[in-house]
Amino acid sequence: MAAMMPLLSTKGLSCAFGGLRAVDGVDFALPCGEIRAIIGPNGAGKTTFVNLVCGRIPASSGKVFFEGRDISRLPAHQRVRAGIAYTFQITSIFPGLTVLDNVAPAAQRPSARQVAASGSSRERALHALEEVGLGQYAHQQAGHLSYGHQRLLEVAMGLALRPRLLILDEPTQGLSDGEIENFIALVREIGRKATVLLIEHNMDVVMALSDRITVMERGRVLAEGNPEEIRADQAVQRAYLGA
Amino acid sequence: MTRAGARNLLLHGAVLVLLFALNFVLPEYHRGILSRVMVLAVFAMGYNLAFGYTGLLSLGHAMFFAAGLYGAGLTIYHLGWSVWPAFGAGLLAGGVVAAAIGFLALRTTGVAFMIVTLMFAQVFYLGTLYFTTYTRGEEGLILPQASRKLELPGAELILTDPAVRYMTALTLFAAVLVGIFLLVRSSFGRALVAIRENEERMRMLGYDVFANKLLAMIVSGVICAAAGAAYAVLFGYVGSGFAAIQYSILPLLWVLLGGAATTLGPLIGTLFMFYVIDIASGLTRAHLLVVGIALILVVLYFPKGIAGTIRERWLRWLQ
Amino acid sequence: MAFGPYFLLATLEGLVTAAVLALTALGLSLVFGVMRVVNVAHGEFYMLGAVLAWWLASLVSGHPAIGFLLALIVSPLLVAAVAFLAERLVLSRLKYEPEATIVATIGLLYIIQQLALTFYGPEARPVRAPFDMRIALPWFGYSAYKLSVIGMAVLLMLATWILLTRTKIGLLMRATQSDRETALAFGIPVGRVYAGVFALGAGLAAVAAVLIVPTQQAHYLMGLDPLLLSFIVVIIGGLGSLRGTLVAALLIGLSDGIISMFFSPTLAKMLATLLVALVLVFRPQGLFGTAMR
């Protein structure tokens, strides 16, 4: 039974702003170890959905389960401690601090899992920077990094938390083709250790990375399947891909 | 320790040694001023923790200073407590007031936070006037000379003696400086700076932002209360003027002038302002005019303050 | 004496307070609404208005109405000019960054206060009312001038409202308020509009002070109370909401008049300030308007 239990699941998760139901009764399940992409047209409720999952905005109704535990009432910072890391759609770093000091808060906060982790918090921070390839910039001021590097720094902050689930909100937006290729390799590497939930517009990235894809439209789940199934799905093509 | 760390340690040690040596060379008048400056610099350091490091621009820190002042002053004057427990009462009063105000005011941010703290401080100030039976309001209380003695094992320090007063002020100043020095290098101190820089990001790194800010407010409040309590026992006067709006503005000015989020900035700013006013009062009675002009000049031309500018231009390692 | 006369007197006094407060708070609200900055020196513009009124009235002899009228017209203009200069020389250079602006206006507060002390002195001095008449009410006579203050305040607020809603200047202000960037793109001189709004806000405080000096004396420390009361009004009313400001001024003015008639004024002020701070904590959008950020 335990093997069947998804890492993350939601039941009837909804969020309304005024009269608009941005997320409307979403039932969602994400097994451990998967790389999952959420796609859908603008305004489909993708970002709102992951914000509900990580607790940045309160749900109007419905529940969120993480590792089988109901976390619907936990504030955002406790969900992070439980193992959910979120990287912002709009780059959100500490521009006045050094690159290393950006990652340090994530590496130094002691959580149950990190006590077991090896090395000092400084080593863990450096390690996260090396994982994304920013090791050489550790002592630069973060605000002076290029945009692509700032996006990587954002990911490094997520990695330093050693999450069970890493949520990436449009990580490749604004990156060059070369940077995107490196990024795909990076996420594959991350996928070996953590479950990844990815919101992405670039279909090449989605097809290259994801084990399964969830398609959202108007706050609801329209379809779900592996990349081939989604590519073949008529409803998805009508709503989103081609027509 | 890193090289920058060693340099900072050396510099801060040198400042303390210099302050110690000044006791023996300064003329009486200036030694008196410096005693007062060190106590008020403690107030400024407490304010700096909230404003400089955590980014909480409070306009109500006079109430924490005054909580310490009255906590110590009233227990000495009315209950006949000796200095140690009275000082403890001052710290406790500051901590309790800071916890309560922080719990409420930290629900707001930005301009609303400034105005809420200003208003709570105004309530505190009006309270010191309303309970005039105990506080004697603006006129204030003069603590009896006999009560201002510090009991130590095997000794008794007469706090009215200028040299003892100077050394006591220096001891408090040194303790708080060392405390702040360690605090800002700790993970808690770094977390506060990161919260100032990007609060939402810290939340999403698993930090309880509210709890961290509240703790910063309480530590800040207790430090300010320590300055207030020390002021009461060292200078023997406890009046509601110290709870007035002006005493919320002054630490802001001292910290801005000296350099926000620098460990030595509060001392530099307080010292500088004291002497500017001292010199100006030879020319004009309107010393608040000097304060007003200084505030405007600092925000216009010198937003990083003295130590902040030195750090930016020359000494990048300065803490 | 029975409860009735006290209550009537308290209500009348409260209405006068409310009228003057509404004008003062309107100025503060306008500045916040358009420029999104909090002017801590607002109370000092009020004080400056009162002090200048005394000075101007003392320049002329003859019937007191001449001096009062001179003060009513010239004092707000002078204060507005001071505010205009302060805006151009200081606030505009701070790019209206909210926290720096508050610190700078605190500086302005001290400067104005100390200059008033230096040139006007520590005394409290009255301006003679333009006319001296009492209106007979059921239990007592009441100053006709005080009643006329209410009328004049209403007229002035009406004039401000017309200025804001019916004139080109008002249109510019509203355009700047709703979207600064777009206003700039359309060639609206945003800088001058800001300076104008700041001057208008200060002028409103000054004119309120001129109205009140015949009944309360001019003093260099008189600015703090109107500042705090205006904050209270603007917060309760919701920052930037004109209708909220008026309702809140009426509420605060009346309750201030009635409460301080029956309780210790210090206690009344304490409780009112505490209450308003709590409103701001738990309902930052005020009781009527939009949130302050």
Task: Please check whether residues A103 and A153 belong to one and the same domain.
Answer: yes
pLDDT value for C229: 87
Residue B256 lies in a domain: no
Chain B: closest CA distance from residue C130 (Å): 34
Residue B103 lies in a domain: yes
Residue C279 lies in a domain: no
Lowest pLDDT segment from A20-24, B103-107, C21-25, C109-113: A20-24
Average pLDDT for B103-125 = 92
Q: Which residue has the higher pLDDT, B69 or A240?
A: B69
Nearest to B288 among C104, C113, C276 (CB): C113
Task: Please check whether residues A77 and A127 belong to one and the same domain.
Answer: no
Task: Please check whether residues A181 and A193 belong to one and the same domain.
Answer: yes
The domain in which residue B210 lies consists of: 3-244
Cβ–Cβ below 8 Å for B205 and A121: no
Residue A182 lies in a domain: yes
Chain B: closest CA distance from residue A53 (Å): 12
Lowest pLDDT segment from A185-194, B278-287, C239-248: B278-287
pLDDT value for A243: 44
Residue C242 lies in a domain: no
Final residue belonging to a domain, choices A116, A131, A162 = A162
Average pLDDT for B118-146 = 93
Nearest to B205 among A96, A101, A109 (CB): A109
| Chain A residues near any Cβ of chain B (below 8 Å) | 54, 56, 75-78, 80-81, 85-86, 88, 92-97, 101, 104-106, 108-109, 111, 121, 157, 161
Domains identified in chain B, total number: 1
CB A116 within 8 A of CB B241: no
**Chain C residues within an 8 Å CB radius of B286:** 114-115, 117-118
Asked if B209 reaches chain A (Cβ–Cβ under 8 Å), the answer is yes
Asked if C155 reaches chain B (Cβ–Cβ under 8 Å), the answer is no
**Chain B residues within an 8 Å CB radius of A124:** none
Residue B9 lies in a domain: yes
Task: Please check whether residues A141 and A181 belong to one and the same domain.
Answer: no
Task: Please check whether residues A102 and A170 belong to one and the same domain.
Answer: no
Torsion angle in degrees (nearest 10) through CA of C64, C67, C72, C74 = 180
Residue A120: exposure state from Cβ atoms within 10 A (0-12, 13-18, ≥19): exposed
The answer for B80, left when phi > 0, alpha when psi is -120 to 50, beta otherwise, is left
pLDDT value for C1: 52
Cβ–Cβ below 8 Å for C110 and B288: yes
DSSP-based three-state secondary structure for C222: coil
Lowest pLDDT segment from A18-27, B60-69, B238-247, B267-276: A18-27
Nearest residue in B to C118, CA atom: B286
**What's the Rg (C-alpha) of chain C?**
19
Domains identified in chain C, total number: 1
Cβ–Cβ below 8 Å for B111 and C38: yes
Domains identified in chain A, total number: 2
Cβ–Cβ below 8 Å for C292 and B294: no
**Chain B residues within an 8 Å CB radius of C106:** 249, 292, 295
pLDDT value for C287: 61
Cβ–Cβ below 8 Å for C106 and B294: no
Give the separation between CA A96 and CA B312, rounded to whole angstroms: 12
The domain in which residue C80 lies consists of: 16-222
pLDDT tens-digit series, residues C85-102: 999 999 999 988 877 888
Residue C84 lies in a domain: yes
Lowest pLDDT segment from A212-226, B11-25, C254-268: C254-268
Task: Please check whether residues A175 and A77 belong to one and the same domain.
Answer: yes
Task: Please check whether residues A175 and A234 belong to one and the same domain.
Answer: yes
Cβ–Cβ below 8 Å for C118 and B286: yes
Residue A67 lies in a domain: no
pLDDT value for A160: 92
List beta partners, residue A196: A35, A166
Asked if B214 reaches chain C (Cβ–Cβ under 8 Å), the answer is no
pLDDT value for B250: 92
The domain in which residue A133 lies consists of: 95-162
Task: Say which residues have a Cβ less than 8 Å from residue B30's Cβ, sequence separation at least 6.
Answer: none
Strand segments (E) across chain C: 134-136, 141-143
Evaluate if residue B198 carries a pLDDT over 60: yes
pLDDT value for A112: 43
Evaluate if residue A1 carries a pLDDT over 50: no
- SS percent in chain B: helix, strand, coil, step 5: 75, 5, 20
CB B70 within 8 A of CB B76: no
Task: Please check whether residues A158 and A210 belong to one and the same domain.
Answer: no
pLDDT value for C292: 45
Residue A186 lies in a domain: yes
Average pLDDT for B25-31 = 94
pLDDT value for A117: 54
Percent of chain B scored above 90 by pLDDT?
75
Among A98, A82, A89, A16, which residue's Cα sits nearest to residue A50?
A: A89
Nearest residue in B to A86, CA atom: B204
pLDDT tens-digit series, residues A116-141: 455 678 888 999 999 999 999 999 99
Residue C212 lies in a domain: yes
Give the separation between CA B209 and CA A78, rounded to whole angstroms: 11
Task: Please check whether residues A169 and A211 belong to one and the same domain.
Answer: yes
Nearest to B197 among A76, A78, A97 (CB): A97
Residue C143 lies in a domain: yes
Q: How many A/B residue pairs have CB atoms within 8 Å?
A: 62
pTM for this predicted structure: 0.88
Q: Which residue has the higher pLDDT, B183 or C265?
A: B183
Residue A217: exposure state from Cβ atoms within 10 A (0-12, 13-18, ≥19): buried
Nearest residue in B to C231, CA atom: B115
Task: Please check whether residues A45 and A138 belong to one and the same domain.
Answer: no
What tokens were used for B43? 């107030």
Residue C177 lies in a domain: yes
Residue B40 lies in a domain: yes
**Chain A residues within an 8 Å CB radius of B191:** 105
Task: Please check whether residues A100 and A129 belong to one and the same domain.
Answer: yes
Evaluate if residue A153 carries a pLDDT over 50: yes
Lowest pLDDT segment from A210-224, B210-224, C271-285: C271-285
**Chain B residues within an 8 Å CB radius of C93:** 300
ipTM of the complex: 0.87
What CATH number did the domain enclosing A186 receive? 3.40.50.300
Return contacts of B297-300, CB within 8 angstroms, 24+ apart.
B298/B253, B298/B256, B298/B257, B298/C103, B299/B256, B299/C94, B299/C100, B299/C103, B299/C104, B299/C107, B300/C90, B300/C93, B300/C94, B300/C104
Residue C264 lies in a domain: no
pLDDT value for B8: 93
- Chains in contact with A, where contact means 3 or more Cβ–Cβ distances below 8 Å, are B
Evaluate if residue C71 carries a pLDDT over 60: yes
Final residue belonging to a domain, choices A137, A162, A187 = A162
State the residue for tokens 């081939």: A228
Q: What are the helix (H) ranges across B186-264?
A: 187-197, 199-203, 209-235, 246-258
Residue A17 lies in a domain: no
Task: Please check whether residues A158 and A169 belong to one and the same domain.
Answer: no
For chains C and A, having 3+ Cβ pairs within 8 Å is answered no
Residue B262 lies in a domain: no
Give the separation between CA C40 and CA C105, rounded to whole angstroms: 5
H or E element: which one contains A64? strand A61-66
